[in-house]
Amino acid sequence: MPYIISVFLGYLLGSFPTAYLFVKQATRLDIRESGSRNVGAMNAFEVSNSKLTGTLVMLVDIMKGTLAVILSAQLFGWQNGIAIGLAGVTAIIGHNYPVWLKFKGGRGLSTTAGVMLVFSWLFVVIWCTVFAIGYKLFDDIHKANIFASVISPLGMFLLPERFLITTLLSGVTYEVALIVSVVTCVLILIRHIEQIKLLLHSV
């Protein structure tokens, strides 16, 4: 039962259509039909031409992931790493595929950050570091996202187990941390599938 509730809780929180509502309020435009059509912070900024709107969308999307993890932990105990992980993963799924917007959501970057800041903050450090390197190499944000999402789980795996455990949320095991890091990155990569196809086609 804790697992089922965590799944519904995570999805419900993650599916809150932040960018859609904020952009609609600011511009009366449907973000799904504007700019890149991605329902996320970057497109919210580009469509609204407002740093405030983009920043607020990013912060709320981060909070969705963080809140899903914390509420699951409060309900079922901080030692229940599996339930907490399920809440985090489904929050990202909810953000990427919100039922309220006919399953057309964002790419999950901010919500993933919110989840992993609580679940395994070191993952966020690794991802951001690899992203910065990727952006320096490719000068393209999508390629950098893909690069970071491929390399970061490998970075987690290569870290000494004893060290990684010291950076995890209490109750989260080494195995669960690795699984969640892989799953979250796969979810990000799925939402970059068009960019991946273009990248492969250009090789």
Q: In tens digits, what is the pLDDT along the chain, a chain of 203 residues?
A: 889 999 999 999 999 999 999 999 989 999 999 888 889 899 999 999 999 999 999 999 999 999 999 999 999 887 888 899 999 999 999 999 999 999 999 999 999 999 999 988 999 999 999 999 999 998 889 999 999 999 999 988 898 888 888 888 877 888 898 999 999 999 999 999 988 888 777 76
79: three-class secondary structure by DSSP:
coil
188 is in which domain, residue-wise?
Answer: 2-202
Q: Residue 133 has what pLDDT?
A: 95
Look-up of token digits 């903050």:
121
Burial 101-127 (b: 16+ CB within 10 A, else e): beebbbbbbbbbbbbbbbbbebbbebb
- Cα within 13 Å of Cα(32), Cβ side: 13
CB atoms within 10 A of CB 200: 8
Put residue 29 in one of left, alpha, beta given phi > 0 → left and psi -120 to 50 → alpha.
beta
Q: Residue 81 has what pLDDT?
A: 84
Distances from the Cα of 74 to the Cαs of 68, 87, 114, in angstroms?
Answer: 10, 12, 16
Q: Residue 203 has what pLDDT?
A: 62
pTM of the model: 0.93
Domain count, the chain: 1
